[in-house]
Amino acid sequence: MARERIYPFAVASVRSMENRLLTKQKLMQMAEAKDAEEALRLLADSDYGKTQVKDAREFESMIQANLEEAYQAVGKLIPNETFMDIFRFKNDYHNVKVLIKEEISQVNGKKYLIQGGSIPLEELQRNFRERNYMELPNIDAKAVEEAIEQYAKTKNGAYIDTILDQACFRVMKTAAEKLGIDYVTKYVCKLADVTNLKTLLRIHTMDRTEEELKENLVPGGELSTETLVRALKSDSLTAVLKETAYGILCGENIEQGFTVFEKACDDYLMDYVKEAKYKTLTPEPVAAYILAKETEAKCVRIIMTCKLRDIDAETIKERVREAYV
């Protein structure tokens, strides 16, 4: 009964919020803008315009403010912290990686920190400095210490990213299973799988070893380590991966290079997200809205970054992900 009272209102509210999402047409207009400043003006003529910036290079502050507003709005609709936190954990772990590297390098990493985590940024900074992990229950303390220790031994910052990415996916998987919403659990599983497929392609392209592949895989997906290793050692990634649930995704795209495959993976996840459009009483549309906002933010980031680098419109349009609306 509690779910029936809560979710119809939440879904109705989200349907209204969806009307403010950027359409594919709007994104294409930004891609076709003559320069970054014009693209910024088009962006400002949307929900992102609530945050004013003076320079196109400051577009990230618009993205972060808009995402945080979305997280806050949805958080008020769903009286379950775990539901929202699952989508925010990656921001927490991103910030922890920045804080570790800042501590090691003694270079201020403020510009790399982002809002939108499950832990307020100032609280995360304070408790990390004090190593007060009791106040950071969703941060894997052992993983943080292991990352710091591995860097001390190797001076290789890649270990920081790998160890904390793996910890993040463990926390996401545990939280999703505890939440018990099949749609969210499957999304986390698919996200882990496409993350590992991208890792496989990167290791294969760079002609790295089986051991390096194993070291960089994240937990939580259904693709086994054995399958991914077999693909790496085979003459053709596609030949092995066509036997998996990701056969179509990989068969059409993985041989075309990392840029094409990364976009294909994002579009694959968006196709799954869109399945929630026709639900009315269950929480899937609420989760889908957050995932749609995150994909939208990625699209804006791609467009603005490319514009600032004077990349041509056709190339930008090829890189823009599928929109939810």
The beta-carbon contacts of 81-84 under 8 Å, at least 24 apart in sequence, are 81/118, 82/175, 82/178, 82/179, 83/179, 83/181, 83/184, 83/283, 83/286, 83/287, 84/118, 84/290
pLDDT tens digits along 78-108: 877 788 899 899 999 999 999 999 999 999 9
Confidence of residue 61 (pLDDT cuts 50, 70, 90): very high
- End position of a domain, from candidates 175, 207, 226: 175
What integer pLDDT is reported at residue 1 of this predicted model?
33
Domain enclosing residue 101, as ranges:
87-175
The verdict on 8 and 72 lying in the same domain is yes
In angstroms, the CA 182 to CA 72 distance is 23
The verdict on 263 and 306 lying in the same domain is no
The verdict on 299 and 264 lying in the same domain is no
pLDDT tens digits along 161-210: 999 999 999 999 999 999 888 999 999 999 999 999 999 999 999 999 99
The verdict on 215 and 145 lying in the same domain is no
What integer pLDDT is reported at residue 18 of this predicted model?
93
In angstroms, the CA 242 to CA 236 distance is 10
**Greater pLDDT, 48 or 279:** 48
Whole-model pTM: value is 0.90
The verdict on 274 and 292 lying in the same domain is no
- End position of a domain, from candidates 123, 153, 175: 175
Rg (CA), the chain: 20
Confidence of residue 2 (pLDDT cuts 50, 70, 90): very low
The verdict on 55 and 106 lying in the same domain is no
CATH of the domain at 30: 1.10.132.50
The verdict on 162 and 197 lying in the same domain is no
What integer pLDDT is reported at residue 8 of this predicted model?
81
- End position of a domain, from candidates 126, 148, 175: 175
Mean pLDDT of 146-166: 96
Count structural domains, the chain: 3
pLDDT tens digits along 261-279: 999 999 999 999 998 888 8
- Both tokens of 246, joined, read 């990701």
The verdict on 289 and 247 lying in the same domain is no
Residue 254 CB coordination number (10 Å): 24
Confidence of residue 6 (pLDDT cuts 50, 70, 90): low
The verdict on 113 and 98 lying in the same domain is yes
What integer pLDDT is reported at residue 116 of this predicted model?
84
CATH of the domain at 261: 1.20.1690
The number of residues in the chain equals 325
What is the average pLDDT score of the chain?
92
Q: Quick check: 123 pLDDT over 50?
A: yes
In angstroms, the CA 189 to CA 129 distance is 32
Q: Quick check: 3 pLDDT over 60?
A: no
C-alpha torsion sign, points 275, 280, 283, 285? positive
pLDDT tens digits along 209-226: 999 999 999 999 999 999
In angstroms, the CA 308 to CA 49 distance is 19
- Both tokens of 43, joined, read 């962006």
The verdict on 9 and 58 lying in the same domain is yes
Q: What is the largest CA-CA distance in the chain?
A: 55
From the list 115, 136, 113, the residue with the least C-alpha distance to 126 is 136
The verdict on 293 and 270 lying in the same domain is no
The verdict on 238 and 252 lying in the same domain is yes
